[in-house]
Amino acid sequence: MAATGDTAVVLLKSSKDWTRWIALIKTKAVNNDIWRHIDPSVPSPPAFEPPNKPLPSQFATAGSTDVTAASLTTAQFQRYNTEVSIWQEELKDHRKKVKVITEIEDHVIRTAGTYWSTIESVTGLHARLVKLKERVAPSTYAREQEVTRRYEQVRTQANLTRTEEWLAEWESALRDAIELKLPDVQNTRPTRHFLLAVEKIAPLFAQTWFNTIETNAVMTPDIQLNTVVPDGFQIAQIFRNQHSFNATKGAFAGSTLQGEQAPSSQRSKKYPLHQFHSLDNCHAFNKTKRPEGWTWSKRIASEAIKFIEKDSKTQEKYKDILAEAKEFLEKSETASQVTTQSNQKIIGSAFAHPPRVSFVSTPYILKDSFILDSGSPSHICNSKDR
């Protein structure tokens, strides 16, 4: 296979290339309704001639001589004019086909390669294709061997990273094998071969269809499996659809919105402090969603500041929250310093006075009372006399 411009062209280098080479020519010829005129498997195809132009004499009264369009009656001229219009359309179509035949013949000359000597002395597209077929086309046996080899090879090459390419190769090999009516592609064998081929890359898919086939075989033994089980092409299309759907889901999950970077994981969408809800539902970042009595804590305020100051966009979006969190931390620090100083004064006064001064207070009301405890073997009171 060689690339010529934007079009891939099959070069006829050996008998292995014949099938694909002639298939491309046949496709173009069939699409333009000229294959029957150039088919190399037909010894004498129908001649490709331009349409015959209608003559005025064909529509004149029998026995008339020197007939012209002007000598026709009105009715005769109308029929003649209608046939001329049809002929003109057929002539346009014929000229288009002639152009296609010329293009195909140019293609044959350009791609014949080393086999040009085979057709050098032959004129006419059909004659040249016949000569090439006799010289290049593989025998039936050789063709079967080649197709069998390709079919067996493609069954071992299923690849998850190049799935579409492999599926195309599978369908091509299977189509050729069916065309040759190879035993390996009869009934449900292609379906089983396909499932075995994809078992390593899609075990669940393969096992599901194996179970389906087995269920049909056991539950309805009289039914022909090939009437209820997808054939080799259908199972490939089902696999292609599911693979494309899974790939689309993965692409959608990793897509971006308006050029923003996609989150690396589901956790990154959560608020970074505790992961229990999204950023939009966080009380710290949304004043309107704060319950009554909600207050900042030092940890939440610190983490919120750290999160907001990561980039300029976040700072701009949450500038009010950033100011609020910083203000809270500043007030908390001030209050903490005042409390620390007060505690230091109290501790100093306790050591500045005799110890007993610190115990001067209202007498304890249970000073002379017993608190009985049935589980205690002894009791202590504040007087030996008791």
The number of distinct structural domains making up the chain is 3
Considering the domain architecture, whether residues 241 and 279 belong to the same structural domain is answered as: no
- Which of 21, 8, 10, 4 shows the shortest CA–CA distance to 136? 21
Does 364 fall in a domain?
Answer: no
Considering the domain architecture, whether residues 235 and 318 belong to the same structural domain is answered as: no
Domain coverage including residue 208 = 140-250
pLDDT computed for residue 267 by the predictor? 45
Tokens of 62: 């029998």
Q: Which amino acid is at 97?
A: K
pLDDT computed for residue 30 by the predictor? 95
Name the stretches of the chain with pLDDT < 70: 1-8, 247-278, 338-380, 384-386
pLDDT computed for residue 142 by the predictor? 84
pLDDT computed for residue 266 by the predictor? 46
pTM exceeds 0.85, yes or no: no
24 and 10 Cβ atoms separated by less than 8 Å: yes
The string of pLDDT tens digits covering residues 181-214 is: 898 899 899 999 999 999 988 999 999 999 999 9
Among 136, 151, 173, the domain boundary falls at 136
Give, in degrees to the nearest 5, the angle at Cα 251 between 247 and 254.
145
Does 67 fall in a domain?
Answer: no
pLDDT computed for residue 360 by the predictor? 47
- Which of 8, 27, 86 shows the shortest CA–CA distance to 53? 86
Considering the domain architecture, whether residues 193 and 246 belong to the same structural domain is answered as: yes
Helix axes 203-219, 232-253, angle to 10 degrees: 140
201 and 158 Cβ atoms separated by less than 8 Å: yes
Q: Which amino acid is at 137?
A: A
What is the rounded CA–CA span in Å between residue 313 and residue 319? Answer: 10
Considering the domain architecture, whether residues 198 and 227 belong to the same structural domain is answered as: yes
Helix axes 232-253, 163-179, angle to 10 degrees: 170
